[in-house]
Amino acid sequence: MWEFPNFCISLRTEITICQFFISLSMETKRPKILIIYTGGTIGMMENPVTHTLQPFDFSHLMENVPKVQLLDYDIDNIQFSSPIDSSNMNPQHWSEIAKAIEKNYDKYDGFVVLHGTDTMAFTASALSFMLENLSKPVIITGSQLPIGEVRTDGEENLITALQVAAATDAAGNAMIQEVAILFENYLWRGNRSTKMSADNFNAFRSNNYPELAKIGLGILFHEEALYRLPSKRPLKVRYDMDPNVMFIQLNPGMTPEILNHLLHTPNIKGIVLKTYGAGNSPSEPWFTQLINEANERGIVILNVTQCVNGGVKQSLYETGDCLSQAGVVSGHDITSEAAITKLMYLFGLGLPSETVKTYLQSAICGEVTIQN
Ligand code: ASP
């Protein structure tokens, strides 16, 4: 699946204003960064016949970013043999990205994943679970406009992602030790991020977690927000992501027939129930009965609010409490993307439903805030 072009950039930088704000490795050793190109708008070109945007190969992409050569880094790259629009992303692709990171983990200081924006937050969330004990930066970025466009945001995003991946703290350790999304003016925790805009350059946001860094004249890291492992352990990659999960989004007027049909989806193990407000749903007997029956069949149902900001408080209203009574687990302030990939990861570990529910009530890698 991977292509390893014989391509390595090892070039010298000019002084940049960012050096006042970020501490790049000052030792003689240059930062070594691996770019993993999967596709997305950043590398797309217009098909002359259909006029649609299609993924293109990496050499085209790098030719359009000559400024990368000003960075004093050793940069290698690999790419999907056929770069994809991220709407085609699936767990097999996540495994390919994770495998590339695992194989090259000791050789590089950091990783930059170039990815389409449409499912970037899902990939970021999935990788955060799959890459257990990650202590190096995995910075995912892309762009809203192709790199060849005059007004592209791709050049800036790529260069800043490389700088973030190379940044170190005062002790010389990697500043970022988690999966993060770099887009325009912000660095966000990957499993806290959501695509918010289909056309704004600031396309991503963490609605329930502060930014990891603000990108302006310089890169200002918010160190108190950064994830750190409780103790350093070797990277362990979990490749099995169970796809037998899905979203059910509530809407007024949902009928018992529709809900019953969805809850009887073949092989389904986990459901992210997208509820109203603070985690509320209809409290009518037919509704809670169907949910309760699904719970008794061993289906894990995780309550995530449809609101972009705030979280689930299942005991606040009777319409939320009825879900607790029916065995639904609160998703607190987790994003939909992190919720669905967390279910995939936990079922992928082969855990029984009750254990999955227990893990849903704790943060595995900074994806949720549990308030007692
Ligand atoms: N459809 C594109 C993708 O997700 C959109 C983008 O990259 O912005 O691959």
Strand partners, 10: 74
pLDDT at 1: 52
Q: Is the pLDDT of residue 244 over 90?
A: yes
- The active-site residue, picked from 38, 41, 275, 305, is 41
Stretch 133-160: mean pLDDT, rounded?
95
Q: How confident is the model at residue 48 (pLDDT cuts 50, 70, 90)?
A: confident
Q: Is 335 a catalytic residue?
A: no
Measured in Å, residue 86 CA sits from the centre of ligand 1 at 6
Q: Is the pLDDT of residue 45 over 90?
A: no
For 248-292, what is each residue's pLDDT tens digit?
999 999 999 999 999 999 999 999 999 999 999 999 999 999 999
Q: How confident is the model at residue 314 (pLDDT cuts 50, 70, 90)?
A: confident
CA-closest residue to ligand 1 atom 3 = 116
Q: Which of 37, 38, 41, when mutated, tests ligand 1's pocket best, judged by the most ligand atoms within 8 Å of its CB?
A: 41
Q: Which ligand 1 atom is at minimum distance from the Cα of 203?
A: 8
Q: Which residues contact 166 (CB under 8 A, 6 or more apart)?
A: 24, 25, 31, 33, 71, 73, 109, 110
Q: Which ligand 1 atom is at minimum distance from the Cα of 40?
A: 9
Q: Is 314 in the pocket of ligand 1 (CB under 6 A)?
A: no
* 285 vs 53: CA distance, rounded Å: 49
Measured in Å, residue 116 CA sits from the centre of ligand 1 at 4
Measured in Å, residue 15 CA sits from the centre of ligand 1 at 33
Closest of 223, 200, 227, 203 to residue 213, by C-alpha:
223
pLDDT at 8: 37
Measured in Å, residue 41 CA sits from the centre of ligand 1 at 5
pLDDT at 69: 87
Q: Is 55 in the pocket of ligand 1 (CB under 6 A)?
A: no
pLDDT at 371: 78
> Mind spelling out the 3-state secondary structure of 219-267?
EEECHHHCCCCCCCCCCEECCCCCCCEEEEECCCCCCHHHHHHHHCCCC
pLDDT at 268: 98
Highest mean pLDDT: which of 14-18, 168-172, 337-341?
A: 337-341
For 53-105, what is each residue's pLDDT tens digit?
888 888 888 888 889 989 999 999 999 999 999 999 999 999 999 999 999 99
Buried b (16+ CB within 10 A) or exposed e, 286-302: ebbebbbebbeeebbbb
> Is the model's pTM score more than 0.85?
yes
Stretch 2-20: mean pLDDT, rounded?
38
Measured in Å, residue 113 CA sits from the centre of ligand 1 at 14
Please tell me what DSSP assigns to residue 28. S
* 57 vs 38: CA distance, rounded Å: 9
Q: Which of 53, 85, 181, when mutated, tests ligand 1's pocket best, judged by the most ligand atoms within 8 Å of its CB?
A: 85
pLDDT at 5: 46
Distances (CA, A) of 65 to 151, 157, 240: 13, 11, 36
